[in-house]
Structure 1
């Protein structure tokens, strides 16, 4: 079957409630391609590698978490940006991107989907009432050592995580996929035993050590693979479309 591009975009916007969320980039349709959609290719980032794979897969739409046109970005269409846009336009492929709306969503969001992968029970937002902090709080069914939980992360995500171990058992967990290391202080205030995110900064080590919490950096890319897959699956079911997730490995 096929669906109109405008119908697909409208449903994705509605489902994620994208219009209400202030973000660092435009959410929704970023590059317009052919008017009818039969096949969606999803991926974490609209890199050249993903675009080339989408062309090979004869995609009509590329659906990503990390798209283009970020605040503060040079607006000139040159170099890498020119090559990426040329690939989309020359092949009449649309680019559909959702950043914070995909982090926040209670069903297909990156944070909720990562919790399902790691068997964490979601309890609520990391910072209640602050929509700018997209992380969550939750707990494990039974206390365990941080090293054992890090092994679970490794097994699920297929990437060796960075672990700062407080040597205490963990049960209460805070997390924010991607580049959420700056929220460790809010996690400490929320009383977590462990904070998990994608990346780490130099000062993150000291915050974890001096506040007596464990910390895991499991990879920006690795922690954000699941939301876009879930959204692609939802749209494919909704409109009887083909959906293919393509993972372009990224060690960061």
Structure 2
């Protein structure tokens, strides 16, 4: 990417940040302070990963000589039963273990069900709410937020309580303005839309009028009216539009 210069050859600054132009022509104000902070954080994370790896290697040295972990676990179980046989028969031990296992499994299933419910509620609030509140969707797209979510919702996940976006190749989407940091919701949606094959059908047309404007000045503004009615009607409308491209 290159620095953007004005007609006098001076660097263009936006909110105190130098503006760079990427190869695709997109202009981004480079946040040097944020980038330095990110590099510092990544260096600290790398050190932490290295220390954990060294600790794991040290712990594994205690298992040197054990070629078959499954056989080792089986041997420990046999020894455990031999010790407990002094109190009860081995068959009774298995019965007790099974009963305890059933009780814990019931509790585990109940907790898993609650966790899934909470996860669905969190997804609806974090991701669904982000689509509904998005400034980019409201200003730049000609389709309702629920239609945008139906198209791009699968590209978003909740990780560590935050919404994280992935592109069509399964790679996390990072910010252009804040290198090393994940893109925020609106920047991620803008990136996904730019990669969408049918983007011309969902982007709002410009305000230009007259015969020289795209589609006779109408653009997609006329198509926007097709998205009224029920959600099923809106789904059918966008499918019909994309099918003609």
**TM-score (norm. length: structure 2):** 0.22
**TM-score (norm. length: structure 1):** 0.21
More helix, by proportion: 2
Larger RCO of the pair (alpha carbons < 8 Å, separation 6+): 1
More strand, by proportion: 1
Q: Which has the larger radius of gyration?
A: 2
